[in-house]
A and B are shown apart, each in its own frame.
Chain A
Amino acid sequence: MRELTYAQALREAMAEEMERDNSVFIMGEDVGIFGGCFGVTGDLCKRFGEDRVRDTPITETAIVGSAVGAAMTGSRPVVEIMFSSFMGVAMDEIFNQAAKMCYMTGGQAKVPLVIRTAAGAGIGTAAQHSERIEAWHVHIPGLKVAYPSTPADAKGLLKTAIRDDNPVIFFEHILLYNHKGEVPEEKNFFIPFGKADIKRAGKDLTVVATGILVTHALKAAEELAKEGIELEVIDPRTLVPFDKETVLNSVKKTGKLIIATEETKRGSFASEVSAVVAEEGLFLLKQPIKRVCAPDTPVPFSSVLEKAYLPGSEKIIAAVKEMV
């Protein structure tokens, strides 16, 4: 099968949906001729024109707010917020408008809106360009939240997101954009929401990981396999809806659970998974759950500090060794 980068896979998903449906359009900062800050929109402006690939001013509030209005009136906007750290500027539009519109109107308003955003740390962008705020959005009723870890998932999930009639927050890890992987060419390739993927099967310990941590967990699994320890690595792929059955079934088999996310630990999505398993599967566990996350601080700038700060395969291995 042909290989694409994560960024190319995202672009292909948008191009296919724009070709199929003329109500799909893109807007965001520097998504046009510049091709997007991380090159994701690339040549789409050239292919689809400035009307459907709209360069906006630096105006996050109006980007998301107008996308809500466009979605309510029959368009299907796919907007890019350059860094997820900038989501705060548009937060009223996300949590008070997009998320609540359907409920507040008694089911009248349809808001088919995708907000794509670059998340995560690892390239020295410091505290205001490295955010991991999955949990904020997971907490808000009315949103769906996707977070692909591979190029194939990126394409399949984004196509599903664009066709969904609800607001979807779509996190993309900055370090994944250049990752290559096999991506099916068929135009009807979709990854359904709410279906976790077992990225590696194993019997000794379950690791639930999101985004870039899936990569780190797989690396840890490879290392540990050399010592005869078999990790089962599960990627939920969508955090809302969350496929708890796949996780509970795995915990039933392994009796041990680590949740690895790049978020700061307190109040994280990892905490939510931990609570779900404690509530519905406490007696499947042979040991207490461990969360491998970042410390509860902003992201530091210095490469040395950033490396020390971020969770990765070494921290996962250390946690596993305390449990087996």
Chain B
Amino acid sequence: MRESKEKLFDLLESMLVIREFESTVQKHFAAGEIPGFVHLYSGEEAVAVGACSALKENDYITSTHRGHGHLLARGGDVKKMMAEIFGKATGYNKGKGGSMHIADLNLGILGANGIVGAGLPIAVGSGITSQILGTDSVTVCFFGDGASNRGTFHEAINMASIWNLPVVFVCENNMYGISMPQYTSDGRKSQNIKDVSDRAVAYGISGVTVDGNDVMAVREAVVEAVKKARNGGGPSLVECKTYRHRGHFEGDPAVYRSKEEEEQWKKKDPINRFVKLLKDQELFDDQEYSELKEKVAGEIADALKFAQESPEPDLSEVTTDVYYGGGVE
């Protein structure tokens, strides 16, 4: 795929935004400023950015408990996101959802979700809407290797397949469901297949596995799948192999992974790889890169400041929004 310099820069910037956002959340969670828990996306940026770069304005995504990356890649407002994670009134969800429930219906973001695998049937539903209302919207459904063992995975993909729905199932295989390895040849494992994409054949759809730390590879595969879906070709499964830099949630010491393995994967860091690729092609120099990083850092610093200085929700908010446009019945 030939890409303009502008497009390549957009992809890099988007990945940098996610990394900087997550590093900031990490720091301020450790400082006790953020309630609950957070699941960081650091290390997996190429998946969200590559996949969302394939979408148009009227398309949809469904996300997961590790959703910050998806939302940012889809154009989520950094200020409203940070404020939501801080539980503030100015957050996307008025401070009522937090990290695991951020949504922006106007951007077609049907929500992060606290239940592993819950996004798959929801994505099928937005695919049904495209069919019922005759729109050309495509839905990208993000989920992890852990979710691929849930019934929702099987039921949703089956339904999308029989009805030929415009849904692209993007499996982010980060190798672990909390502490449980997705596959090992001789140890604990959550499934006895190396590639989640093998499961596509059971539902009569195409399945591919790509390097999830290579933003261009993800983009290429998802562009193809989206094109097919938009043209009436039905759903596909794209598995992206990747790795989270952090534990399952902040505070998880990740005793189930070896330091050697972590180091191996850090060498395949999606941002460093992409920067190297761009530099090798002499598309930009160190000066331009540091300017871009500075711009991103400034943007996230502003978002942090906005979140920290925003007011807490009014206590009356406890009982609003239970029903659409109304309060408690």
Contact = CB atoms under 8 A, between A and B. Distances in A.
B124 A65 contact: yes
Given A69-B122, A75-B129, A62 B155 contact: yes
A67 interface: yes
Contacts of A194: 329
A51 B131 CA distance: 8
B182 to A, nearest CB: 22
A97 B118 contact: yes
A232 to B, nearest CB: 24
A50 to B, nearest CB: 10
Given A69-B121, A69-B122, A107 B324 contact: yes
A207 interface: no
Interface of B is mostly: mixed
Nearest to A64: B121
Contacts of A61: 121, 151-152, 155
A120 B305 CA distance: 56
B159 A59 contact: yes
Contact of A72 (B92, B95, B96, B122): B122
B60 interface: yes
A53 B101 CA distance: 32
B93 A105 contact: yes
A69 B124 contact: yes
Contacts of B229: none
A106 B325 contact: no
Interface string A144-172: 10000000000000000000011000000
User: Contact size class for A?
Assistant: 35 or more
Contacts of B14: none
Interface in B78-117: 91-97, 101, 103-105, 110-111, 113-115
A62 B133 contact: no
B93 A66 contact: no
Contacts of A165: 323-325
Contacts of B118: 65, 92-93, 96-97
A241 interface: yes
A173 B96 CA distance: 37
B42 interface: no
A267 interface: no
Interface in A51-77: 51-52, 54, 56-57, 59, 61-62, 64-75, 77
Contacts of B60: 73
B208 interface: no
B325 A70 contact: no
B120 interface: yes
Interface in B113-143: 113-115, 118, 120-133, 137, 139
Contact of B321 (A68, A71, A102, A144): A102
A77 B156 CA distance: 17
Nearest to A90: B121
Contact of B128 (A69, A96, A166): A69
B178 interface: no
20 contacts: A22-B132, A54-B128, A62-B121, A65-B120, A65-B122, A66-B125, A68-B122, A69-B124, A73-B125, A75-B132, A75-B133, A77-B128, A102-B321, A105-B92, A105-B96, A105-B101, A105-B105, A166-B323, A194-B329, A240-B329
Interface of A: 22-23, 25, 27, 51-52, 54, 56-57, 59, 61-62, 64-75, 77, 92-93, 96-97, 101-111, 141-142, 144, 165-166, 194, 240-242
Given A68-B122, A73-B126, A104-B93, 8 more contacts: A22-B133, A59-B155, A69-B121, A69-B122, A73-B60, A77-B128, A97-B113, A105-B103
